[in-house]
Amino acid sequence: MEHDLRLTVFWIVHLLMLGLFALEVLFILSVWLRSRVPGVPVEASRWRKLGAAVGIALGILFSRRIWTLLRSLVVDGMFHRRLYQKNTRRWLAHIMVFGSFLLLGILSTITGVVVEFLPLFGMSPEQAASLPVIGQLFHADVWWVALLNELLGLVVLAGMILIIIRRYVQKDPQLRTISADHIMIALLTLVAVGGFLAETFRLLADYTTPAGLFAPAPSMLSPDKFPPVLIPAWGPQWGFVGYALAWLFGLLKIGPDVWAVWHNVFFWLHFVVVTALLYYLPFSRFFHVIMSPVIVAYNTMSGQEEHRRHTAAEQKAPQAAA
Partner 1 sequence: MSRNEKRVDLSHFTLRQMMELEACTRCGECIETCPTFAEVRREEIHPLQKIAQTKSFWKADHLGLLARMFGIRPASEGDQQTYSEGVYRCTLCGRCHVVCPVQIDTRPLWIAMREQLVDWGLYPEIFDTLQARITTQYNISGDDNANRLIWSQNMEHVPEGLAGKKDAEVVYFVGCVGSMYPRVYSVPQSMVQILERAKINFTTLGGEEWCCGFPLEIAGMGQHAHALARHNVEAVKATGARRLVTTCPSCYHTWAQEYPRILGKPFDFEVLHASEYLAELVDRGQIKLHGFKQPVTYHDPCDLGRTSGIYDAPRQVIQAIPGIQFTEMAENRELALCCGGGGDAEMADAELTAAVGKRRIEQAQETGAQVVISACQQCVRTLMEAARKNRIRIKAQDLTEVVWQAMQE
Check residue 172 for interaction with partner 1 (CB under 8 A): yes
β-sheet bridge partners, residue 129: none
Over the window 281 to 310, marking each residue x when it contacts partner 1 by CB under 8 A and - when it does not, the resulting string is: -xxxx-xx-xxx-xxx-xxx--x--xx--x
Residue 95 engages partner 1 in binding (rule: CB under 8 A) = no
208 has which bridge partners?
214
* Candidate residues 5, 132, 176, 210; the one interacting with partner 1 per rule CB under 8 A: 176
**Which residues lie below 8 Å from residue 136, measured CB to CB, with a gap of 6+?**
129, 142, 144, 145, 230, 233
Stretch that binds partner 1, among 36-44, 137-145, 259-267, 268-276 (CB under 8 A): 36-44
Three-state secondary structure readout of 235-282:
CHHHCHHHHHHHHHHHCCCCCHHHHHHHHHHHHHHHHHHHHHHHHHHH
Could you tell me which residues are beta bridge partners of residue 142?
A: 234
What character string, x for contact with partner 1 (CB under 8 A) and - otherwise, covers 50-69?
A: ---x----------------
State the nearest-atom distance from the C-beta of 279 to partner 1, in Å: 9
Binding window for partner 1 (CB under 8 A); candidates: 78-86, 110-118, 140-148, 253-261: 78-86
Among 3, 14, 80, 202, binds partner 1 (CB under 8 A): 80
How far out from the chain centre does Cα 159 lie? 15
Contacts for 212 with CB less than 8 Å, ≥ 6 apart: 250, 252, 253, 254, 255, 256
Task: Quote the CA–CA distance of 113 and 19 in Å, as a whole number.
Answer: 17
List of residues contacting partner 1 (CB under 8 A):
24, 27-28, 31-38, 42, 49, 53, 76, 80, 82-83, 86, 90, 172-176, 179-180, 280, 282-285, 287-288, 290-292, 294-296, 298-300, 303, 306-307, 310, 314, 317-318, 321-322
